[in-house]
Amino acid sequence: MKRIGFIGLGIMGVPMVCNLCKAGMDVTIIDNGHGNQKAIAELKQQGVHTALTGRETARNQDVVITMLPSGRIVKDVLTGPDGVLAGIRPGTVLIDSSSVAPVESQEFAALAQKAGCPFLDAPVSGGEPGAIAGTLAFMIGGDETVAEGVRDVFLAMGSSAVVTGPNGAGSVTKLCNQIMCFINIAAVSEALVLAQKAGADPKKVYEAVRGGLAGSAILEQKAARIYGRDFAPGGFLESQMKDINHVMETAQELDVPLLLAPIVQQITQSLMQEGRGREDNSCMVTFYEKLAGITVQTKE
């Protein structure tokens, strides 16, 4: 049984901790009175231990996992006076599953190395449904041997864990994933707006195409939200804004031309200006709806 410190109890982190507990892991989280107290109380009932700081959370653990909103927050959690690196013992595997820029992952790896700890950047795909079901896909940057040593930890929370290269490669892979996802959401939005404008029921259109080449995980997750007008957060639009900005920054650094991603960036920025940052990213359809003068909605 591995001892795990876990930091970051958002819509992804809470179910990830639950699945670690189900797998028999000994998990410690932070409870300093400022977090999601309802979630913390429920996790305590599952046997989760609590600590007051990152330093305490990291003490005497085999693995420490961070799942946080931004690279800046990850760095603060790692390097603060009461941060993870102040309390971690050499040899503890540090895993960052946050969505951050590749250069940030490489910086965190260097900080961990100074503390004598192996580091894996291991962002995920699957969203809240995958976190709850324990079917997340981990995209890992780092040493293959280190990753293999904690494979049971990854598979307690997900269905796959693939090392794609050295530190930073996991975060690069996540950016590639996000390009495909966000452009796909935009495509689903465009298609359903066209269907609605032409008089077809968008739900029936979805049912007709889902079994063909247009079928995808994005279509399965987002179409029903769109025609059902359900934009309750599963993947925050503000997170999409952060990730697509990282995509463009990384592409510029590498001198890689991207044509579709900048369009998604502009659509996302427009919706952010409307105050939709805390909605599900399926709200991208509203951008197209305004242009077409219609609302996508099933007749059923």
Beta bridge partners of 125: 137
Q: H-type helices in the chain, by residue range?
A: 13-22, 37-45, 54-58, 71-79, 84-87, 102-114, 127-133, 144-149, 151-157, 169-198, 202-209, 217-227, 237-254, 261-273, 285-292
Is 62 within 8 Å of 92 (Cβ atoms)?
yes
Is 114 among the residues known to form the active site?
no
Q: What is the dihedral of CA 74, 75, 79, 82, to 10 degrees?
A: -30
Contact (Cβ atoms closer than 8 angstroms) between residue 216 and residue 184: yes
Check if the beta carbon of residue 27 is closer than 8 Å to that of residue 6. yes
* Lookup result for tokens 């390097």: 79
Tokens of 252: 């510029």
Task: Report yes or no: 169 and 161 within 8 Å, Cβ to Cβ.
Answer: no
Question: Of 38, 44, 75, 174, which one is the catalytic site residue?
Answer: 174
**Alpha carbon distance 282, 300 (integer Å):** 20
Which residues are bridge partners to 49 per DSSP?
28
Q: How far apart are CA 242 and CA 290, in angstroms?
A: 24
Residues with active-site annotation: 174
